[in-house]
Amino acid sequence: MLIIFDCDGVLVDSEPIAARELQRYLEDIDYPVIVRAEDHDRFLGFTLKKMRHDLETEAATPLPVDFEDELRRRDKLAFEADLTAIPGVLETVQCLDAPYCVASSGPPEKIRTSLALTGMLDVFAPHLFSAHDPGVANGKPAPDIFLYAAAKMGFAPSACVVIEDSPAGVVAGVAAGMRVLGFTGGGHCGPGYDGLLRSAGAEVIFDDMAQLPGLITKS
């Protein structure tokens, strides 16, 4: 069995920080659509390319050419100041009796930075897979990233368990033919968030990483 972890919101508590930085950036450039931190959930699990498309469609106004690069720059500075690991995740991962990897919508450098800042890079490297990798045609909610990670690790989809915190990620895991456990222990998961993951197809919802070893052994 292979355990596939999403990164943002599952391994690192990055989503509240990313939501704050997006809101500030859009305010700084006086963009017609402002995404408040509490409304950031609609972008969870998506690439910045998809975020750009959705914002430009809604506003009927182009974003700056360097939108993705500038938002990543801001996120990196904010992560260096504020990013923390999800409570208990390192201890849980280190006691797992199964191979594991990371499969994230973020670019490779962001994944590595996030894990390095929280002391987890050596635990997961080199098994880090990104929706930006050449072998991944489509981002979540398409199943491509999870199928790619499974193939690279040498496992059939039916032998994989995905740990996800976003509806788009849950949909992707289910579409890949994998078991999907929905995690709601991140700082962005407010009341009712568990219902979103259940509706997307999560088999089980949990909010404490200490529960994970027991959950993945259940049929």
90 and 77 together in one domain: no
149 and 71 together in one domain: no
Q: Can you tell me the distance from the alpha carbon of 114 to that of 192, in angstroms, rounded to the nearest whole number?
A: 27
Tell me the per-residue pLDDT of 142-161, one tens digit each, with 9 for 90 and over.
999 999 999 999 999 999 99
130 and 192 together in one domain: yes
The pLDDT assigned to 46 comes to 86
101 and 68 together in one domain: no
Which residue(s) pair with 130 in the sheet? 104
63 and 168 together in one domain: no
Tell me the per-residue pLDDT of 76-124, one tens digit each, with 9 for 90 and over.
999 999 999 999 999 999 889 999 999 999 999 999 999 999 999 999 9
124 and 188 together in one domain: yes
Say if residues 186 and 9 touch (Cβ distance below 8 Å).
yes
75 and 155 together in one domain: no
Q: Residue 30 class from Cβ within 10 Å (0-12 exposed, 13-18 middle, 19+ buried)?
A: exposed
* CATH code: domain of residue 43: 1.10.150.240
Range of the domain at 89: 2-12+85-216
Tell me the per-residue pLDDT of 152-186, one tens digit each, with 9 for 90 and over.
999 999 999 999 999 999 999 999 999 999 999 99
Assessment of whether the complete model's pTM goes beyond 0.85: yes
pLDDT, average across residues 35-56: 87
